[in-house]
């Protein structure tokens, strides 16, 4: 099994190109199920999760072809063609690998009038039930049955009929599934307290480009007027705001200066505000965002919340960075109950972190020390890489398959800005 080896201590300087967003890509790909025509996605990141989702779509009858890119370029161009759906069942052996697989439920139900999807798997960061997905689909006419670990959804008379649903709590995945289901329903659907994440805006923009009628994009009140059919299109995946934020933390923790090429400030204001409060210099330019650090870091008080709040997907990276801040920081995790699994590994490197339920106190230390550590989930693994970049000595991060799910060619990008980092294969 591969590991990432890092020799810490270098101040990172230079440019890092920001890849297409993983969380957007996994939402845009199932839109191919909504039309018989071809959907081409550009700036698609080369990630294990994208490949896994592609395999799932292949099983349902979607053909996928990838255009080559020049050496040194990032992102891919994938054409998806669901001319004929050959199966409406997403089996356990595929869905268990990745929670986002449940996003085939809405579009398959909308087009075929039925869908059977295994209850999902994914990162071990807490209980993430799909009850809100199912309740939203029921409000737009779906009949839901749960049996033997599967969700079987059907549309009476073969077509969903539209309706209103108010989410009791904000849910990104449930909003995405409901929007994709509603675009082909008869009549009008209103979603209240819908998630507002940039990835949902990206989804709605793609669907509109395919012929859908959606108003309120970017707000918590989405109105979808169903259409008879959608057509194909070509669409560019948005830049990854979490990858950009992660590399911004790399500049902070190493005392460096990084230009994040392609990053969009409007997608990540809460992250950028937190970086500035921490004492980093954040500058905008026509190619992206520059983040610099030269005077140490101040402690922070942060609480995760749905967009436009501070993202839960940035909590672990900030914790690693704040381990070297001058003072005590306070973090509160409000989204997932099990998202401090990186803490024992950071402690192995000398971080001082006290956990009290969903709260964490990070006491800044003078230095971190390299160690052999084990990744537990995607963002936790990045926090360990960040710690390794700043630590004295050598760090080895094990279980890097987590990293491969969400960071495109990480070693290559970090090496180009001065890090001593390489991937090593066991045996």
Q: What is the pTM of this model?
A: 0.94
Of 21-35, 55-69, 237-251, 333-347, where does mean pLDDT reach its minimum?
A: 333-347
Residue 122 has pLDDT above 60, yes or no: no
In the annotation, is 204 catalytic? no
Instruction: Report the pLDDT averaged over residues 116-135.
Output: 68
| Nearest-angstrom CA–CA distance, 199 and 242 | 11
Instruction: Report the pLDDT averaged over residues 39-48.
Output: 94
Percent residues over pLDDT 70 in the chain: 96
Instruction: Report the pLDDT averaged over residues 265-276.
Output: 98
Instruction: Report the pLDDT averaged over residues 403-424.
Output: 95
Of 33-42, 261-270, 336-345, where does mean pLDDT reach its minimum?
A: 336-345
- Residue 298 assigned ligand-binding role: no
> What's the order of all strands across the beta sheet hosting 164-166?
164-166, 188-192, 222-225, 213-215
Residue 127 has pLDDT above 60, yes or no: no
Q: Out of 31, 123, 204, 278, which one is annotated catalytic? A: 123
* pLDDT tier for residue 120 given thresholds of 50, 70 and 90: low
> What's the order of all strands across the beta sheet hosting 281-285?
13-17, 257-261, 288-292, 281-285
Count Cβ atoms below 10 Å from residue 227 Cβ, excluding itself. 15
Residues 357-408 have pLDDT tens digits of: 999 999 999 999 999 999 888 888 999 999 999 999 999 999 988 899 889 9
- Residue 74: its pLDDT value, please? 76
- Residue 67: its pLDDT value, please? 85
Instruction: Report the pLDDT averaged over residues 329-341.
Output: 85
Q: Determine contact, residues 335/127, Cβ cutoff 8 Å.
A: no
Instruction: Report the pLDDT averaged over residues 310-327.
Output: 97
Nearest to 49 by CA among 70, 73, 19: 19
Residue 96 has pLDDT above 80, yes or no: no
157 by DSSP, 3-state: which?
helix
Q: Determine contact, residues 299/364, Cβ cutoff 8 Å.
A: yes
DSSP 276: H
* pLDDT tier for residue 35 given thresholds of 50, 70 and 90: very high
* List of domains in the chain: 3-14+239-424 (3.65.10.10), 25-236 (3.65.10.10)
Percent residues over pLDDT 90 in the chain: 82
- Residue 337: its pLDDT value, please? 67
Residue 201 has pLDDT above 60, yes or no: yes
- Residue 82: its pLDDT value, please? 97
Q: Determine contact, residues 295/255, Cβ cutoff 8 Å.
A: no
Residues 216-257 have pLDDT tens digits of: 999 999 999 999 999 999 999 999 999 999 999 999 999 999
- Residue 124: its pLDDT value, please? 40
Residue 126 has pLDDT above 70, yes or no: no
Q: Determine contact, residues 225/263, Cβ cutoff 8 Å.
A: no
- Residue 358 assigned ligand-binding role: no
The DSSP secondary structure of 3-59, one letter per residue, reads EEEEE--PPPEEEEEPPBPHHHHHHHGGGGGG-SSEEEEEEE---HHHHHHHHHHHH
- Residue 97 assigned ligand-binding role: no
- Residue 22 assigned ligand-binding role: yes
Of 9-13, 75-79, 193-197, where does mean pLDDT reach its minimum?
A: 75-79
Of 93-107, 229-243, 309-323, 350-364, where does mean pLDDT reach its minimum?
A: 93-107
- Residue 125 assigned ligand-binding role: no
Q: Determine contact, residues 43/25, Cβ cutoff 8 Å.
A: no
- Residue 130 assigned ligand-binding role: yes
Residue 295 has pLDDT above 90, yes or no: no
């Amino acid at each position: 099994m591969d590991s990432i080896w890092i020799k810490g201590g270098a101040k990172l300087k230079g440019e890092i190109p920001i890849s297409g967003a993983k969380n957007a890509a996994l939402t845009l790909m199932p839109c191919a199920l909504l039309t018989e025509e071809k959907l081409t996605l550009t700036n698609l990141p080369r990630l294990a999760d994208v490949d896994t989702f592609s395999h799932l779509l292949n099983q349902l009858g979607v053909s996928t072809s990838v255009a080559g890119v020049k050496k040194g370029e990032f992102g891919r161009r994938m054409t998806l063609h669901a001319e004929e759906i050959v199966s409406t069942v997403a089996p356990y052996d595929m869905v268990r690998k990745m929670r986002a697989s449940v996003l085939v439920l809405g579009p398959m139900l909308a087009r075929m009038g039925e869908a059977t999807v295994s209850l999902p798997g994914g990162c071990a960061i807490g209980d993430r039930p799909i009850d809100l997905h199912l309740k939203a689909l029921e409000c737009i006419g779906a009949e839901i049955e749960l049996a033997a670990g599967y969700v079987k959804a059907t549309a009476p008379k073969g077509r969903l009929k539209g309706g209103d649903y108010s989410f009791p709590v904000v849910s990104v995945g449930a909003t995405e599934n409901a929007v994709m289901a509603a675009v082909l329903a008869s009549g009008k659907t209103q979603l209240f307290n819908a998630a507002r994440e940039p990835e949902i805006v990206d989804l709605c923009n793609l669907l509109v480009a395919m012929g859908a009628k959606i108003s309120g994009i970017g707000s918590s009140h989405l109105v979808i007027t169903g259409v008879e059919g959608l057509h194909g299109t070509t669409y560019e995946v948005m830049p990854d705001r979490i990858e950009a934020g992660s590399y911004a933390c790399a500049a902070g923790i190493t005392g460096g200066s990084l230009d994040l090429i392609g990053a969009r400030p409007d997608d990540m204001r809460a992250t950028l505000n937190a970086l500035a409060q921490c004492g980093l210099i954040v500058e905008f330019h026509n190619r992206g965002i520059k983040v610099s650090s030269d005077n140490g870091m101040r402690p922070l008080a942060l609480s995760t919340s749905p967009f436009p709040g501070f993202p839960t997907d940035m909590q672990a990276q900030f914790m690693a960075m704040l381990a070297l801040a001058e003072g005590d920081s306070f973090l509160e995790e409000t989204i997932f109950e099990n998202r401090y699994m990186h803490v024992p590994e950071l402690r192995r490197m000398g971080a001082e972190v006290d956990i009290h339920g969903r709260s964490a106190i990070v006491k800044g230390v003078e230095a971190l020390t390299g160690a052999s550590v084990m990744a537990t989930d995607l963002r936790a693994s990045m926090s360990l890489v960040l710690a390794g970049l700043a630590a004295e000595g050598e760090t080895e991060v094990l279980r890097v398959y987590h990293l491969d799910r969400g960071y495109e060619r990480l070693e290559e990008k970090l090496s180009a800005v001065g890090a001593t980092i390489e991937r090593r294969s066991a045996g």
